[in-house]
Chain A
């Protein structure tokens, strides 16, 4: 299996620009997660989907952040407008859930720098 695929791997943008991060989960997995990692806050969950439906978005920082999962094989995380404090590594992860919580497999991450 190819694992979780994320693109782009690196993104440098200017404050105020729109940023879109993309994720393809492992085939057959029905849960998808977006995490953000920073030195100050560590790893924190932003949002997660189960069967393409958003279940918990309590970690989304503010209205500038939005996430979609139009089908089982694709998700996007959008930041509009971006700010320097959004600079972080964004990870997508997926897992297979059937009443039992199995391990989450992480993608390689997208390193976002907002100048």
Chain B
């Protein structure tokens, strides 16, 4: 069975601080895909990144960066110089090639960036 754990329920930071959101996953499949989604207060789910299990390269996109480490089964997300607009719930999700396309979501981390 697949499982995604986001241990941080809520995080509160002050604008311009760096913040890291943790994601730990469990699967027995060797081919799998990891995702991060953002859910702002307006409620929609916005895709941020997809990473497959064979690509452990870290990725940077503007103020966002992701650290994928298979050795610790983690796929952490860092926001550098946070802004108020980053306030949202962030979800980490997993799907495996061996199963269906079913996305298994973590419970989410609510990030509040205060001015």
Contacts and interface: CB of A to CB of B under 8 A. Distances in A.
Contact of A103 (B35, B43, B91, B107): B35
B50 interface: yes
Max chain A C-beta neighbours (<10 A), residue from B33, B45, B97: B45
Interface residues on B, range: 20 to 34
Interface size grouping (class) on chain A = 20 to 34
Contacts of B43: 89, 108-109, 111
Contacts of B50: 102-103
* Main secondary structure on A side of the interface with B: strand
Interface in B35-59: 35, 37, 43-47, 50, 52
Contacts of B106: 42
B107 A45 contact: no
A108 B102 contact: no
Contacts of B61: none
A104 B103 contact: yes
Contacts of A108: 43-44
B90 interface: no
B108 A31 contact: no
B44 A48 contact: no
Interface string B61-92: 00000000000000000000000000000010
B105 interface: yes
Interface of A: 31, 33, 35, 42-45, 48, 50, 55-56, 59, 89, 91, 93, 95, 97, 100-109, 111
Interface of B: 33, 35, 37, 43-47, 50, 52, 91, 95, 97, 100-103, 105-108
